[in-house]
Structure 1
Amino acid sequence: MADFGEAFNYGMKDIVSVLIGGVLFILSILLIPAFIVMGYLVRVAETTIKGGGDVPKWENIGDLLVKGVMVFIIEIVYMIIPVVVFLLLGGASIFLAAGSGDDPSAAMAAMSGMILAIVVAGIISIIMCVLAMIGILRYAETGAIGEAFAVGKIINELKAKLGEYVIAWVVLIVAYIVIYVILTLLSMILIGIVLIPFVMFYYEMVVFRLLAKIYAVKT
């Protein structure tokens, strides 16, 4: 069973690293800092998988940048399928609506088709996100981007520890909701707005630490 307490307390070991991550999180609109942040999270996963307990330092920034770009590529590739599905189903619905003229039944069918496209693409997106996350962990472990697309091995990993991953994701989702509510309330005052990037970066550290701990256990 994953040690949730350890994962949530992980970032507290090095507040300076969290502060640096929060600042870069703010600068993520410039893109390059976003890649560096993602590369750092990969390093968190890599350190965790290798059995390390310390928070990694912000060093060798070039390596973090490369890792971040690789993760971006991984995420884009995994999102191709849901995007294509949405475009095909949504496009068919738009085509139907355009050819229906003023026929209300055809327009209703087109609307239903668009809703179906959103639902189906959404479900596929969730599946792809899960596969992509395990793929990123495989990349963190091996350093080989090809391993991020070893779908058979990724599915085997999920099957072997499905219960642990499901519980972890449920906990992370609940934690995110709680954080979102608290930050929304605090945003009514200046301190809440200031805290958002730092808290969200801390949360991402928890995500990568927790999932990497589960992944690191070989069955």
Structure 2
Amino acid sequence: MISASLDYLRDGDDAVVTVLIGGVLLLASPLIVPSILVLGYVSRVLRLTADGDDEPPVFDEWGDLLVEGAKAFAVTLVYSLVPLAVFAVAAVVTVGAFVVVPGGGGSGTFLGSFVAGVLVLVIGIAGLAVSLVGLYVTPAALAAVADSGRLGDGFAVGTLWTVVSKRAYATGWLTAAAVVLAGALAIGVLSVVPVLGTIAGLFVQFYALVAAAAVIGWTWADVRPVSAEPAESEPAERPAV
């Protein structure tokens, strides 16, 4: 699957143009809107590959692309903010421990410091665990929103659990992670060259991001929940034979 994902964008008719546009958008990503457009393109890749269409999309219909990207941005933001909130609580507890625990010695001071330290450690571990869960669930949430077009599907915990708990999803996620990691290593090598290497790395980053999205899309086709369609009512009268 890794080989197929790396060939996904390259086999497209407008591969060069697509990569150029994607790289330029990442270069301008500090302006926020370009990064949302990239997320919109990723959403299209997720939707098309999940539906069995392996022809890479092009950058067009920019208004729709922006809407799709905004939904993906919202999903990514929420799943990023939850672990940040946990770490923020840990930081507040740490600061509070220094304020509340008196400066003098004694067993009370030691016990208070020990309890505060354990609490900070527990919250920190919890924050790390939540971060890992967020990284694992986010691709499924993005695929769900791209598939249905409904933002709420990205936060349907019960439905997402039926997906992320499958071995096929875990395999797809690990494959996509390997693609992203390979891209990161390539970017690290390119960054040795000042300025030009960093810029070239953005185009590699876009290519790797799309390849990983293709993997998740193919995986989603196998693991996505089947919506229960209402059965058609049987006609009251049958045509005479």
TM-score (normalizing by structure 2): 0.79
The structure-2 alpha-carbon separation of the partners of 1:185 and 1:7, relative to structure 1 and needing over 3 Å to count, comes to: closer
CA distance in structure 2 between the partners assigned to 1:41 and 1:21 by the alignment = 10
1:4 is matched with: 2
CA distance in structure 1 between the partners assigned to 2:134 and 2:22 by the alignment = 26
2:239 is matched with: none
Partner of 2:9, secondary structure, is: helix
CA distance in structure 2 between the partners assigned to 1:56 and 1:192 by the alignment = 27
Q: 2:213 aligns with which of 194, 208, 211?
A: 208
1:81 to partner: Cα distance: 3.3
Q: 1:176 aligns with which of 171, 177, 180?
A: 180
2:45 is matched with: 44
1:133 is matched with: 139
CA distance in structure 1 between the partners assigned to 2:220 and 2:82 by the alignment = 25
| Contact 1:90–1:117 (8 Å) recurs in 2 | no
Which amino acid in the other structure matches residue 200 of structure 1? Answer: Q
Q: Residues 68-119 of structure 1: CA distance to partner in whole angstroms, max 9, x if unpaired? A: 1111212233344323333334322321221113357455654554343332
Unaligned runs of 5+ in 1: none
CA distance in structure 1 between the partners assigned to 2:101 and 2:184 by the alignment = 43
Greater shift in the superposed pair: 91-100 or 52-61 = 91-100
CA distance in structure 2 between the partners assigned to 1:79 and 1:186 by the alignment = 28
TM-score (normalizing by structure 1): 0.86
Unaligned runs of 5+ in 2: 225-241
1:195 to partner: Cα distance: 1.4
| Larger fraction in helix | 1
Higher relative contact order (CA 8 A, sep 6+): 1
1:188 is matched with: 192
Greater shift in the superposed pair: 93-102 or 205-214 = 93-102
CA distance in structure 2 between the partners assigned to 1:78 and 1:185 by the alignment = 30
2:87 is matched with: 86
CA distance in structure 2 between the partners assigned to 1:193 and 1:85 by the alignment = 33
Which amino acid in the other structure matches residue 165 of structure 1? Answer: Y
2:230 is matched with: none
Partner of 2:124, secondary structure, is: helix
1:218 to partner: Cα distance: 5.0
1:142 is matched with: 148
Kindly tell me the number of residue pairs found equivalent between the two proteins: 215
Partner of 1:58, secondary structure, is: coil
Pair 1:122-2:128 in alignment: yes
Which residues in structure 2 correspond to 1:57-96 (within 5 Å)?
A: 57-96=58-97
